[in-house]
A and B are shown apart, each in its own frame.
Chain A
Amino acid sequence: MLNTVDILETIHMIQDECLDIRTITMGISLLDCIDPDIDSACRKVYDKITSRAEHLVRTGEQIEKEYGIPIVHKRISVTPAAMLAAACPQGDPVKLAHALQRAADTCGVNFLGGYSALVHKGFSAGDLALIRSIPQALAETGNVCASVNIGSTRSGINMDAAALMGQIVCEAAQATADRQCIGPAKLVVFCNAVEDNPFMAGAFHGVGEPDCEIHVGVSGPGVVRAAIEKYPDAPLDELADVIKKTAFKITRMGQLVGARASRMLGVPFGIVDLSLAPTPAVGDSVAHILEGMGLEQCGTHGTTAALALLNDAVKKGGVMASSNVGGLSGAFIPVSEDAGMIAAAQAGTLCLEKLEAMTAVCSVGLDMIVVPGDITPETVSAILADEAAIGMVNNKTTAVRLIPAIGKKEGDMLEFGGLLGSGPVMPIGRKSAAKFISRGGRIPAPMHSIKN
């Protein structure tokens, strides 16, 4: 039987501690839309997405009302668009981006991810054309997100791709300089990208996935922080237990919503991504969890250890709560999307180097970090390579979402609004890595990639 304490706890989590389902993401395969004529491919893409996801938003809203839990975003992820571009070498891939945007508008979703290319071992047909079109595609669309996988533990790091992506990130910022450089905020550069990630901007629908499926991304940093605050003097192993129990409850909610959405839409249930995803709202910050553990401010010494504990406990608690855990599943540390991270970066406590160390123990990477507008493409490439190396060697996903703030310098702010938040321009290293980047080629896969 239900008891009063349990009922009130759930309501308290939703009302006062910002508990929500961050996203229901429908993954849709576009492999059957491949066509040598780009206009025909665009029509097929639009038709397939709008027919599969026709009821996605309405279903999400209905579940919100049924269970009384907010579902903040409804999203779509699709097959990497480079695979469609490969079939039409004469066609302009930006047309595909516009088709995706039209489909997103018709369905009413918040984001659509999959303007992507997977080039961790090398470029195949369509990849280069698509990557070169990313700045224009992101500037001319509003809700389409792009991602490029440049490395993996099994294949090493494609340094030609790292070099190219440094230029692309800078061009994407320049193309949207009049709009707070929003372009690169919708572009993720991965190592070890996952095929079933429901979170943006890095979501795409991998080729190993079924034709159509539903993923759920949960949230809940505010709930974890509130739980920790009830144990101000507990030793860390006890604190880890508290986090595990809280993560279990949050993930169960995701499992319930995902299973319900899957039944209502008649589409298989993919995975629950049990990530702690912050928002700029007060009380919904991962940095504040770390501070709740006893750090004066996020970014100081001890931050990496605290984050490692948090990330591990979230996974251990969440994994029992869901039949299928996947995606990125861990703690996110996007600077501009987290009130505590923004404050720590402004105070100078949180710097790029510390963030890089933190990415070795959390679920993703350098996320939503605003850098000075005069950063060189080679420096961006070097940051991408550093981060990809951490992912490659540690068998984990790492991602980089850097936003060069054109015309701005350290201490200035970029304001994106909504879930993307606002970010202070953070200092970067000024010595050149141009020679290293210009060598190109591939960084070989590490010894432990040879597992068979």
Chain B
Amino acid sequence: MRAVITVIGKDAIGILHKVSGICASHNANVIEVTQSVLQDMFAMIMMVDISSIDSDFTALSDEMAALGNAEGLAIHCMHEDIFNSMHRI
């Protein structure tokens, strides 16, 4: 079971650290990260393994949303099933 975390917003020090820190605190393993900074815009897509997380997935999702609000970033934390079902036959 995997989840996709996307982060878009103004670049700042420590975004990747904070997002991956929340993942670690829930025992979610980061598998893959694609990241780019265009001018001062930060964009990242992170794939995390959530099969052994030690909390409810919605708790992880809530915490990411709270981080997004606090830092002024658009953070989405979504189960991979939504992308698979929408884009794969």
Contacts and interface: CB of A to CB of B under 8 A. Distances in A.
Tell whether A pairs with B: yes
A262 to B, nearest CB: 14
B84 A67 contact: no
Contacts of B61: 65-66, 68
A256 B85 contact: yes
B34 A4 contact: yes
A252 B78 CA distance: 16
A258 to B, nearest CB: 11
Given A4-B34, A4-B45, A62-B58, A10 B83 contact: yes
B58 A7 contact: no
Contacts of A65: 57-58, 61-62
Given A2-B47, A4-B45, A7-B6, A253 B87 contact: no
Interface string B70-82: 0000101111111
A6 interface: yes
B87 A249 contact: yes
Contact of B81 (A8, A67, A249): A67
A67 B78 contact: yes
Contacts of A68: 61, 76-79, 82
Nearest to A260: B81
Interface string A8-48: 11110001000000000000000000000000000000000
A161 interface: no
Contacts of B76: 11, 68
A303 interface: no
B86 interface: yes
Interface residues of B, number: 22
B79 A6 contact: no
B80 A2 contact: yes
Contacts of B84: 2
A6 B83 contact: yes
A16 to B, nearest CB: 11
Nearest to B87: A6
B39 to A, nearest CB: 18
Interface in A221-273: 249, 252-253, 255-256
A222 to B, nearest CB: 16
A306 interface: no
Nearest to A13: B86
A2 B86 contact: no
A383 interface: no
* A interface, size bucket: 20 to 34
Contacts of A252: 85-86
Contacts of B86: 6, 10, 249, 252-253, 256
A69 interface: yes
Interface string B21-64: 00000000000001000000000010100000000011001100
Nearest to B2: A2
Contact of A7 (B45, B74, B77, B85): B45
Nearest to B62: A65
Nearest to A253: B86
Contacts of B58: 62, 65-66
Interface centre among A2, A9, A256 (most CB of B within 10 A): A2
Contacts of B85: 252-253, 255-256
A6 B47 CA distance: 14
A10 B85 CA distance: 11
Contacts of A9: 87
A358 to B, nearest CB: 30
Contacts of B34: 4
A66 B79 contact: yes
B85 to A, nearest CB: 4
A256 B58 CA distance: 17
B6 A11 contact: yes
Contacts of A67: 78-79, 81-82
Nearest to B57: A66
A67 B57 CA distance: 10
A156 B87 CA distance: 44
Nearest to A256: B85
A256 B4 contact: no
A4 B80 CA distance: 12
Interface string A45-81: 0000000000000000010011111000000000000
Interface centre among B6, B76, B77, B87 (most CB of A within 10 A): B87
The 4 closest A-B pairs by CB, nearest first: A68-B78, A65-B58, A6-B87, A256-B85
30 contacts: A2-B80, A7-B6, A7-B83, A8-B6, A8-B45, A9-B87, A10-B78, A10-B82, A10-B83, A10-B86, A10-B87, A15-B74, A65-B57, A65-B61, A66-B58, A66-B61, A66-B78, A67-B82, A68-B61, A68-B76, A68-B78, A68-B79, A68-B82, A69-B78, A69-B82, A252-B85, A252-B86, A256-B81, A256-B85, A256-B86
Given A9-B87, A252-B85, 10 more contacts: A2-B47, A2-B84, A2-B87, A6-B83, A6-B87, A11-B78, A66-B57, A68-B77, A255-B85, A256-B82
